Chains A and B, each alone.
Chain A
Amino acid sequence: MPDMLILGTRKGTVIIERSGDTWLPRGAAHEGIPVCFAARDPRNGAIWASLDHGHWGPKLSRSQDAGSTWQDMPSIKYPAGARHIGQYLPTPDFDPDAPTGEPEYRDASVYKIWHIAFGHDAQPGRMYAGTIPGGLFSSDDGGQSWELNRPLWNHESRGGDLFAGEATSATHWGGTPASIDYGVFEPGIHSIIVNPTNPQHLYVAASSAGVIESRDGGATWSGRNKGMVMDHLPNPEADWGHDPHYVTACRDDPRHLWQQNHCGVFYSADGAQSWSRVSAPESGVHFGFPIAVDARDGRTAWVVPARSDEQRMTLDNGLFVARTEDGGQSWQELRAGLPQDNAYDIVLRHALDAHGDYLCFGSTTGNVYLSADRGESWQCLGHNFPPVYSVRFG
């Protein structure tokens, strides 16, 4: 049974503690500062928060006493010479077939630390961080120092090794709309998966590129987007350019991966070697942001469906969670305890988590809902939280 929930919100880090059957929120830490992701390191209990300062640059903060006090941690920085090919938000007259000009190189700067992942038990100091503009960083000293993963940064899908000179290939990574807040249109890594049975086996997901796998600890990377369909692309089945909203894997059997994106829910039973669209648009399971998978049964997953890419609202003004227990062959709508009228809640990519039979999600309208029975029924833990960016059990 989990004892703690950690919320990253627009106004700080909120910890909700369990006392018997009651969940009690504490006052926010990092008051007034947007926290785009916060999570507890299961290896040592430290809680990490990614601060999305509007003015002062992205920062990491860590608590080693369950959130009572916090310490600023060293900033993540791109090394000198780290460049990328600049992207621009497509304009209405954008022609994907028009010849491209010379690439515009930009020095890389961290705009957002979007996701934090903790290493394998065999690597107690290892951490990972995904950033906008699309760099994966790792630390081997518990977050005291960070290093850019150059094989991924220099991947041929991004133009090759720009440390060495000119691009040797075109970039196939597009920008993420989540970067527009920073005045840019650059890619971002929002999902990092460490195989619990093999520390050398990693997945990351980037918007807008897709899923990328390394089986050698990050020394080499390969795109894993076979079977993905992006309906709005000139070639919907292109190798790159996909926009996963969140990708996660089953803890006990990480061959089972799940992905929610603009164009459906996608499932892989073979370690992302191939994906299948398992949406059920007729029942509303199609568009959304977060996805969670059961830790033991890789065929069981939950999503919080939303209405259409264009509107991003609840379906029929009612909030529900959808669950599959058969790899997406069928979905059940779970509504007990969730509002079915006048609900405008949207649940963002990191704002749903599963822990045993427990599930929790938080919405952009500041509601947090908890289930202790695999989503069958829900209780509200509060209606007046700030907009919620991330939810993780501690």
Chain B
Amino acid sequence: MPTVTMTSHLYRFFPELADVELEVPAGSIADVVREIERRHPGFADYIVDEHGALRRHVLISVNDAILVDRRALSDRVSEGGTVYIFQALTGG
């Protein structure tokens, strides 16, 4: 199954994710976000807006390919792949 790796900053809001090997079924990134939301209610709101579009300062890649479809998250992850969830950081 694909695995999901994410910025540790999200562990602040979902501490139960800090120590788990997060495996999800292969499919679209939208499917992946829905699956994490199912297991950890509220998670999707941190990643996508009310239309399912990726939030402006969040970036997802599938292996080493940056997500192309930020609006519907239709890019797919295959068996054995890795989904990375990043955030931009700025300011002081």
Contacts and interface: CB of A to CB of B under 8 A. Distances in A.
B49 interface: yes
Contacts of B65: none
Interface in B35-85: 42, 45-47, 49-51, 53, 55-58
Contacts of B45: 56-57, 59, 75
A110 interface: yes
Range for the number of chain B residues in contact with chain A: 10 to 19
Contact of A55 (B42, B51, B53, B87): B87
**Max chain B CB contacts within 10 Å: which of A55, A77, A182?**
A55
Contacts of A57: 45-46, 49, 55
A141 interface: no
Chain A: interface secondary structure? loop
Contacts of B87: 55-56
Contacts, number: 38
A110 B58 contact: no
Contact of B90 (A54, A56, A77, A183): A54
Chain B: interface secondary structure? loop
B46 A78 contact: no
Contacts of B51: 80, 107, 109
B58 A55 contact: yes
Range for the number of chain A residues in contact with chain B: 10 to 19
B3 to A, nearest CB: 22
A357 interface: no
B20 interface: no
**Max chain A CB contacts within 10 Å: which of B9, B50, B58, B88?**
B50
A119 to B, nearest CB: 24
Given A55-B58, A55-B87, A110-B49, 16 more contacts: A54-B57, A55-B46, A56-B45, A56-B46, A56-B47, A56-B58, A56-B87, A57-B46, A57-B49, A57-B55, A59-B45, A75-B50, A77-B50, A78-B50, A80-B51, A183-B56
